[in-house]
């Protein structure tokens, strides 16, 4: 019993230390983001990698999500004779929930893993120690630009994904469901309200911050050589996705209370 209790205490201590070090990394990154020197070149490079590099896969995911959503909802609405409301359901579902979450998950899988593997490889090859020896703060040069870029570009990707997802539903509604294009677009536009846009745009910056912060944390805490890099990359993607879903619940709950 004592051994069992000791193992649980050790696990709890490990979790507390992990949360503490992750929180400190986040605060240090935010603090250094507003201090000179500003590594603008690195920041814009990361924006290109995260934004432009993820655009195709985010757009593809959003298009077919909107298409499938239109197919599924039309079957249900047909039983009530309300197929014309398909555009409303597609637009509201994408803007409020599916667009931000699916875009964040796609970026986490593509960018979060890349950040972890890149920083982990730099750590085990002593490049980060060399930066410290030359007087460069790795948090300032490596972590802050990635967090700024991710926090900035994930909302942009989300907006693009929302539009493409609505177009995916438009494609299905026009060619498979026989819904008038003007009816679909009008219902999709008229149903969107200010609260829907606020909910859809408040989440992506937080998701982007979490993706980059988690990727940087696991990358800078990699151990065990090349095998450790692969293990850290897997942990990074899984953790980022879990945090996205958990934070999405609490953000939605807060926004529904406020709005």
195, 259 Cβ separation under 8 angstroms: yes
178, 71 Cβ separation under 8 angstroms: no
Among residues of the chain, what percentage have pLDDT more than 90?
43
Q: Which of 11, 14, 26, 15 is nearest to 214 (CA)?
A: 26
Q: Model confidence at 7, in pLDDT bands (50, 70, 90)?
A: low
Q: Model confidence at 225, in pLDDT bands (50, 70, 90)?
A: confident
* pLDDT of residue 1 exceeding 50: no
pLDDT, tens digit, 9 for 90 and up, residues 165-185: 999 999 988 888 878 888 888
Rg, C-alpha atoms of the chain: 22
Distances in Å between the Cα of 33 and the Cα atoms of 99, 146, 176, 224 are 28, 10, 50, 30
Q: What is the DSSP string of 166-225?
A: HHHHHHHHHHTS---HHHHHHHHHHH--HHHHHHHHHHHHHHHHHHHHHHHHHHHT--SH
Domain map (residue ranges) of the chain: 46-258
Least reliable range by pLDDT among 58-67, 74-83, 142-151 = 74-83
Tokens 């699916």 correspond to 102
pLDDT of residue 64: 95
* pLDDT of residue 15 exceeding 60: yes
pTM of the model: 0.89
pLDDT, tens digit, 9 for 90 and up, residues 20-59: 888 998 898 888 888 887 888 889 999 999 998 899 999 9
């Amino acid at each position: 019993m004592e051994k069992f209790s000791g193992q649980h205490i050790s696990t709890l201590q490990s979790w507390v230390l992990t949360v503490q070090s992750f929180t400190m990394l986040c605060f240090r990154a935010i603090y250094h983001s507003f201090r000179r020197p500003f590594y603008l070149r690195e920041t814009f490079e990361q924006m290109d990698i995260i934004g432009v590099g993820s655009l195709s896969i985010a757009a593809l995911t959003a298009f077919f999500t909107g298409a499938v959503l239109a197919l599924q909802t039309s079957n249900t609405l047909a039983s009530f004779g309300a197929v014309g409301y398909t555009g409303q359901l597609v637009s509201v579902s994408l803007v409020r929930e599916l667009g931000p979450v699916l875009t964040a998950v796609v970026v986490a899988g593509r960018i979060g893993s890349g950040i972890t593997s890149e920083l982990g490889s730099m750590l085990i090859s002593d490049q980060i120690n060399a930066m410290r020896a030359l007087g460069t703060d790795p948090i300032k040069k490596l972590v802050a630009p990635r967090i700024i870029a991710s926090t900035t570009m994930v909302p942009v990707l989300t907006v693009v994904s929302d539009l493409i997802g609505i177009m995916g539903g438009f494609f299905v509604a026009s060619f498979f469901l026989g819904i008038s294009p003007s009816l679909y677009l009008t219902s999709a536009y008229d149903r969107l309200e200010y609260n829907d846009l606020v909910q859809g745009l408040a989440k992506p910056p937080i998701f982007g911050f979490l993706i980059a912060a988690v990727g940087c944390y696991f990358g800078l805490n990699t151990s065990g050589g090349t095998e450790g890099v692969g293990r850290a990359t897997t942990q990074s993607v899984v953790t980022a996705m879990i945090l996205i879903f958990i934070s999405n619940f609490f953000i939605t709950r807060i926004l529904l209370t406020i709005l």
